[in-house]
Amino acid sequence: MSMYVLTDSWTMTRRELAHWARQPVRVVVGLVFSVMLLLMFAYLIGGGRGVTGDYLDYLLPGMLALTMAFGLESTMLAITQDLNKGVIDRFRSMPMADGAVLVGRAAADMLQSAVGLTLLIGVGYVLGWRAHDGLGGFLGAVGLLLLFRFAMLWIGIHLGLVAGKPELVQAVQILVWPVGFLSNALATPESMPAWLATVVEWNPMSQTATAVRDLLGSPGGEPGHVWAAVVWPLALLAVFFPLAVRRFAHLGR
């Protein structure tokens, strides 16, 4: 059974990757958006309230985490479009492992997320940003970012299945924005009112951003947050992965 899951999921992953060649503009826009945000906050809006040291060193890890939280609308839109065009119904009528459609979608999105991370890190490098704690810390930070993205993806997949229609995706996507901006991605909690700082510090994305800063040797990093940056995404996966698979299994029944 596990072999069928892997082969069917890879088939669905290749299907999603084929869409990139047919719709390259959407992929490029998604990649460029995070770069625009980085340049905007670094040079136009500024910021860095409460940040000790170079703001770019603080900002880039936060932008990497923010990028992992955003862009879920493409996943939700693809799910709802397949639902409404009857594509998923056809897949479910085939001798295919349950959930392979969802796993394939998630795998393709993870590949795009890895490309996006690489691009944003490359732009940061051009701007003068550097990782300060060696290759091990850098790889650990990338691993935490991709783990957070994987958890967010399954939230997006579940929400897409719940929304059911492409026109409802935008309304559901609005729910993701507070996760991104009620965080320490752009400013330190110390610069915020006490009640807001408490919300920000409990945000899973803040835990990831803080842990990534620590692993990269950037301002705002605090030891001990790596475990929280692992536990939070795993907890989200434990909730939303089975919810998404169960919702998918009951479609049309």
Which of 42-56, 58-72, 92-106 shows the lowest per-residue confidence on average (mean pLDDT)?
A: 42-56
When divided into structural domains, the chain yields a total of 1
Which of 92-96, 134-138, 142-146, 179-183 shows the lowest per-residue confidence on average (mean pLDDT)?
A: 92-96
For the chain, what is the mean pLDDT?
A: 80
d(CA 82, CA 175): 22
Alpha helices, DSSP H only, in the chain?
Answer: 2-22, 24-39, 55-69, 72-84, 87-92, 100-127, 134-163, 169-173, 177-181, 194-202, 204-216, 225-249
- Greater confidence (132 vs 226) lies with 226
d(CA 173, CA 159): 9
Q: Is the pLDDT of residue 106 over 70?
A: yes
Per-residue pLDDT tens digits for 214-233? 999 888 888 888 999 999 99
The count of other CB atoms within 10 Å of the CB of residue 140 is 19
Given this model, what pLDDT does residue 55 score? 82
Task: Read off the pLDDT band of 52 (50, 70, 90).
Answer: low
> Percent of the chain at pLDDT above 70?
75
For the record, the structure tokens of 94 come out as 């085939």
Structural domain harbouring 203 = 2-249
